[in-house]
């Protein structure tokens, strides 16, 4: 069995809202254990676990927690539940199916860094997740697992939901902070980092839904046990949002070290109609598009770094031979053109030009000059923009030019014959 269910272990065991049932399923055991540990020891367990952020950047979680603990004064804990990356739905599943796990993980974090106020910044379209989280928060207050004197200790923690308004860039941590403060969602120049100057200029710990949820497992069963799951490169499990042409689309939790191909065949059951796979996009619209010969890569493979990309938030999108590569890449660029906040000229204007060029590839009207311009634009946007949107948005172009160059050249040749 490929799946290893740590974060999703309660998914089919309760309705996600009955807090008493949650408690019979090991719920709040991690928090009780944390309250009997020092803050430093909790962070030590997180360090030992080798946990890295599951929002896409893979930053070691204990480093942020240590920086936060070293700060003084009012501090905030923020859960990034914006999940705007196309192809990803893992955070939605976590919030809908086990919201208390997230609340418990955030409370452990808050206790470990000495914060007393938290926000969950959630994608505005996630109505069901918002309703369920809101109910779970209310019940947690009634159950004394949120609010004052949690579980009859001296520790207090308040938590509220902030709803996003549909901008992808608000998943970027500085844009998210601006949005919570009530400003337009635009990034800031860093440093200072959020752990130094976040919400209302106070130190702020921002982590992804999956990262916070994982803390319960780490505290409950120990960092060492967690670090032994997975691979040398990355520990623990990863939630994979599997979509595209596979027989079984959906959410799967697998240990790091599993290959992409195993996820597609064993979890996804292979392609519908056994149509050959043409390519797979990893991570979402900002991730690389790779050919079948690279599907033996682990989901944590360092090979992704050649694209300046990582596994990202964990989407695997399977694209079969019935699709036109240029239509796929064009859709990606249209998305980023729409989502650019407009602050940097290369991002604002560059995506517009890339869309125009890719339309010509789709319409069999592309020239060699178009090819060169597309390449230059992709590199310039990647190298000169302020935030991660521009720095990753052209990965699908760069990776397809690397692995499917013959498709580009063929389309240019075919375009010569089309009047």
Ligand X SMILES: Cc1cc2nc3c(=O)[nH]c(=O)nc-3n(C[C@H](O)[C@H](O)[C@H](O)COP(=O)(O)O)c2cc1C
Sequence-distant (≥ 6) Cβ neighbours of residue 118 within 8 angstroms? 76, 77, 78, 79, 106, 110, 157, 158, 159, 160
Give the x-and-dash track for 340-379 against ligand SF4 (CB under 6 A). xxxxx--xx-------------------------------
Which does residue 385 touch among ligand X, ligand SF4, none (CB within 5 to 8 A, set by kind)? ligand SF4
* Spatial CA neighbour of 189 closest among 387, 408, 37: 387
> Is the distance from CB of 400 to CB of 289 less than 8 angstroms?
yes
59 interacts with ligand X by CB under 6 A: yes
Among 97, 101, 204, 207, binds ligand X (CB under 6 A): 207
Give yes or no for residue 54 binding ligand X (CB under 6 A): yes
Contacts of 113 (CB under 8 A, 6+ apart): 39, 65, 68, 69, 75, 77, 205
- Nearer to ligand X by Cβ, of 57 and 184: the residue is 57
386 binds, among ligand X, ligand SF4, none (CB under 5 to 8 A by kind): ligand SF4
Task: Select the binding partner of residue 27 from ligand X, ligand SF4, none (C-beta < 5 to 8 A, by kind).
Answer: none
Q: Using CB under 6 A, pick the residue from 30, 65, 169, 218 that binds ligand SF4.
A: 169
* Residues 359-388: x where in contact with ligand X by CB under 6 A, - otherwise, as a string: ----------------------------xx
Q: Pick from 71, 98, 172, 370: which binds ligand X (CB under 6 A)?
A: 172
What distance in Å separates the CA atoms of residue 302 and residue 305, rounded to the nearest whole number? 6
Which window, 17-25, 32-40, 79-87, 126-134, contacts ligand X (CB under 6 A)? Answer: 79-87
Partner touching 341 among ligand SF4, ligand X, none, CB below 5 to 8 Å by kind: ligand SF4
Binding of residue 386 to ligand SF4 (CB under 6 A): yes
Residues 172-201 that bind ligand SF4 (CB under 6 A): 187
**Which residue in the set 45, 83, 197, 253 belongs to the binding site for ligand X (CB under 6 A)?**
83
Q: Minimum distance between the CB of residue 170 and ligand X, rounded to whole angstroms? A: 8
Does 389 participate in binding ligand SF4 (rule CB under 6 A)? yes
Which class for 100: exposed (0-12), middle (13-18), buried (19 or more C-beta within 10 A)?
A: buried
Q: Which is nearer to ligand X, 102 or 260 (CB)?
A: 102
Residue 317 and residue 309: Cα distance in Å, rounded? 16
What's the number of CA atoms in the CB half-sphere (13 Å) around residue 258?
25
**For ligand SF4, the closer CB: 166 or 342:** 342
Total binding residues toward ligand SF4, as defined by CB under 6 A: 14
Shortest Cβ distance from residue 327 to ligand X (Å)? 23
Give min distance, CB of 21 to ligand SF4, in A: 43
135 or 348, CB closer to ligand SF4?
348
- The binding site for ligand SF4 (CB under 6 A) comprises 169, 187, 340-344, 347-348, 385-387, 389-390
- The binding site for ligand X (CB under 6 A) comprises 53-57, 59, 80, 82-85, 169, 171-173, 206-208, 211, 387-389
């Amino acid at each position: 069995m490929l799946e290893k269910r740590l974060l999703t272990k309660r998914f089919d065991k309760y309705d996600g809202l009955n807090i008493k049932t949650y408690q019979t399923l090991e719920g709040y055991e991690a928090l009780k254990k944390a309250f009997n540990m020092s803050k430093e020891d909790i962070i030590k367990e997180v360090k030992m676990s080798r946990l890295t952020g599951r929002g896409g950047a893979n930053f070691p979680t204990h480093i942020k927690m240590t920086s936060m603990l070293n700060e003084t004064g009012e501090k905030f804990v923020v859960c990034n539940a914006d999940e705007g990356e196309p192809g990803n739905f893992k955070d939605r599943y976590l919030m809908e199916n086990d919201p208390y796990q997230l609340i418990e993980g955030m409370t452990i974090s808050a206790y470990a860094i000495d914060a007393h106020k938290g926000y969950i910044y959630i994608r505005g379209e996630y109505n069901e997740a918002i309703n369920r989280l809101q109910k779970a928060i209310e019940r947690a207050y009634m159950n004394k697992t949120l609010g004052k004197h949690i579980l009859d200790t001296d520790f207090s923690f308040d938590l509220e939901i902030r709803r996003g308004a549909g901008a992808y860039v608000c998943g970027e941590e500085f844009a998210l902070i601006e949005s919570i403060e009530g400003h337009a969602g635009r990034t800031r120049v860093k440093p200072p980092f959020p752990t130094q100057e976040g919400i209302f200029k106070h130190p702020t710990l921002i982590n992804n839904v999956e990262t916070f949820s994982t803390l319960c497992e780490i505290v409950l069963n120990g960092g060492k046990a967690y670090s032994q799951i997975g691979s040398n490169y990355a520990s623990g499990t990863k939630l994979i949002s599997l979509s595209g042409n596979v027989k079984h689309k959906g959410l799967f939790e697998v240990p790091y070290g599993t290959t992409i191909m195993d996820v597609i065949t064993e979890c996804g059951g292979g392609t519908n109609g056994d149509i050959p796979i043409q390519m797979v996009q990893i991570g979402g619209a900002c991730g690389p598009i790779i050919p079948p010969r690279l599907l033996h890569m682990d989901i944590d493979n360092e090979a992704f770094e050649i694209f300046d990309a990582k596994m990202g938030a964990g989407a695997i999108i399977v694209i079969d031979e019935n699709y036109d590569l240029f239509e796929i890449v064009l859709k990606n660029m249209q998305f980023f053109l729409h989502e650019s906040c407009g602050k940097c000229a290369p991002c604002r204007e560059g995506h517009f030009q890339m869309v125009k060029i890719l339309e010509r590839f789709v319409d069999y009207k592309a020239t060699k000059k178009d090819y060169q311009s597309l390449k230059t634009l992709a590199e310039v946007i990647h190298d000169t923009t302020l935030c991660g949107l521009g720095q990753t948005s052209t990965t699908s172009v760069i990776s397809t030019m690397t692995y499917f160059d013959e498709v580009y050249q063929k389309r240019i040749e075919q375009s010569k014959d089309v009047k």
